[in-house]
Chain A
Amino acid sequence: MHTCKRYLRLYRVLVTQFLKTIMQSKVDFLMGLFGFFFSQIIGIAFLYLVFQKIPSLQGWTLDQLIFIYGFAQIPRGIDHLFTDNIWMVAWRIVLNGDFDRYMLRPMNIFFQVIAEKLQPDALGELLVGTILVVRSLMKGVVVIDGQHIALFFVSIFAGALIYTSIKLFFAALAFWLKISGPFLQVAYQMSDFAKYPTEIYAKGVRFLITWVIPFAFVAYLPASFFLKEGTSAWMIGIECVISILFWCIAYAVFDRGTHAYESAGN
């Protein structure tokens, strides 16, 4: 309990420091936010144009696809907001020996890594996601009752955890490879596949994004639970199990990595 309080207080202090740096450059902040917002909106415009020519895509309507698309943005945005510094571990913190300072402090190393940075650009993704989900609520495309609302939030957090786990796993490879950024980039980019119903892909691709790098569990699979009445709530259960499983694996690899870490030295 005591340690928990201490960590919360530290997090607040670190985040306040970080927010000050953002306030220094408001234009940059707004442009980053707008950039992410805009690049996601283009995806919707694409779907809209296509649906001028077809009534439905393999049984999915435009409204349903927009919900899937928007729903996918929220866990992505949450992870992006809080754990963006993991990218730096993959690209340079291990390489140039900056990781030393995390090793020296008497605090959880993972906590220190993520507490160092908030990524306000992520608000662009969260904004798109929220707008699209609210739109779907108003259009009545999603099932609304107590159970679904509660599981909606569970699913979002499980989804964010899947994102974080995948990022952490590939970033941790940097402890052995020095730079793992390109691998992380490839893995992270696979999340783009999950913006659309996985049925449209070939079997191999579907297997890959469901079970190996499980982005399908972040977006499409839970989203279909909210869209179709009578879909079993087990879908969210499986999502949670997968997120915890992948988190344990990723954290174990990261932990092993910190022991294998060799500083750059001079």
Chain B
Amino acid sequence: MRKSLRVYLPFASNELKRQLAYKGAFYLFILVNMFGAFINYYLWMAIYGSSDQAILGGLTRNEMIVYVFMSYVTSSVVSISIASTVSDDVVKGTVAMNLIKPIDYRLSLISQAVGNMIYRFLVPAVFIWTGVEIYKARALGLPIVSIWNILLYLLSCIMSFLIYVLFDFCFGMIAFFTTYIFGMQMIKNALLGFLTGQLIPISFFPEVMQRVFDFLPFSSMVYTPVMIYLGKYSGEKLGFMLCRQAVWIILLYGAGSLIWKKVTKKLVVLGG
């Protein structure tokens, strides 16, 4: 354990340093991403304004405001894509180097992603999060989130992160079959935005689809932690949701190992 920490920790800290070096580009990136959250905010305000019901999809107007921004915060911290790194490594052939090094390729990628996650948590997420809480208390008159909910939320977020990264690793394996992963990435991002609850709470989907989503890992990535944050789950349901996240981590870890083994067996790298 100590040894592997010594091996993989530099991956995380280097990534953190690398990100800190390109602050300017990152702030603009955040700004662009925030557009999406604000469009969503205005859209939801108009939707609640046009509805004669106070509660839509199980959420009040004020809860929806918190949902919009917290799902943004959650997905920006959680969705650290490693698929493009995998695809770069495969296309350039550097993946071969990783095969002969005495380190686990996937673990090194995950460590990098951890560095990235910490950075995103520190730079935009915490500030937006604080902003949401201040707005909630001042303008909406809602009580501030409890310490207990914050802890549960953070625990759920860490699991979400692992689910996302492990899923993305499996996804990145596509690079072994096609070099143009850009189109696939776009489809993935669009689909994930929709199915994880980032764009619209899962409770807005028809009953049948919600049942189907119960058997997919996506809602565990954003929807579950945000609902925990909002205090929508309690007791048994809460325990079940957290267990479900844990189960997905195990399943995706297994799937990733299996695909990796299959794929590297017939890997052909040109040049060297």
Interface, chain A (partner B; CB < 8 A): 25, 27-28, 30-36, 38-39, 42, 45-46, 49-50, 52-58, 121, 182-183, 185-186, 189-190, 192-193, 196, 199-202, 205
**Contact present for A38 and B191 (CB under 8 Å):** yes
Chain B residues closer than 8 Å to A31, beta-carbon distance: 178, 180, 182-184, 187
For residue B57, CB closer than 8 A to chain A, the reply is: yes
A-B contact pairs, 30 of them (CB 8 A): A25-B180, A27-B180, A28-B178, A28-B180, A31-B183, A35-B183, A35-B184, A35-B185, A35-B190, A36-B186, A38-B186, A38-B187, A39-B186, A39-B189, A46-B194, A46-B199, A49-B205, A53-B47, A53-B53, A54-B47, A54-B51, A54-B56, A57-B46, A57-B47, A57-B50, A182-B24, A182-B29, A193-B39, A196-B42, A202-B42
Distance between Cα atoms of A30 and B185 in the complex (Å):
14
**Contact present for A185 and B47 (CB under 8 Å):** no
Given contacts A28-B178, A28-B180, A39-B186, 7 further A-B contacts (CB under 8 A): A28-B183, A31-B184, A53-B53, A53-B204, A121-B183, A186-B28, A190-B35
For residue A196, which residue of chain B has the nearest CB? B43
Distance between Cα atoms of A57 and B213 in the complex (Å):
28
**Contact present for A42 and B199 (CB under 8 Å):** yes
**Contact present for B39 and A56 (CB under 8 Å):** no
Dominant SS among interface residues on chain A: helix
Chain B residues closer than 8 Å to A201, beta-carbon distance: 42
Q: How far is the CB of A18 from chain B (nearest CB, A)?
A: 16
For residue B99, CB closer than 8 A to chain A, the reply is: no
Chain A residues closer than 8 Å to B35, beta-carbon distance: 189-190, 192-193
For residue B228, CB closer than 8 A to chain A, the reply is: no
Residue interface bits B130-151, CB-to-A below 8 A is 1, else 0? 0000000000000000000000
Q: How far is the CB of B58 from chain A (nearest CB, A)?
A: 11
The CB with the most chain B CB atoms within 10 A, among A34, A50, A58, is that of: A50
Dominant SS among interface residues on chain B: helix
For residue B208, CB closer than 8 A to chain A, the reply is: no
- Which of A32, A42, A56, A190 is within 8 Å of B180, CB to CB? A32
**Contact present for A192 and B182 (CB under 8 Å):** no
For residue A202, which residue of chain B has the nearest CB? B42
Chain A residues closer than 8 Å to B254, beta-carbon distance: none
- Which of A25, A35, A53 is within 8 Å of B57, CB to CB? A53
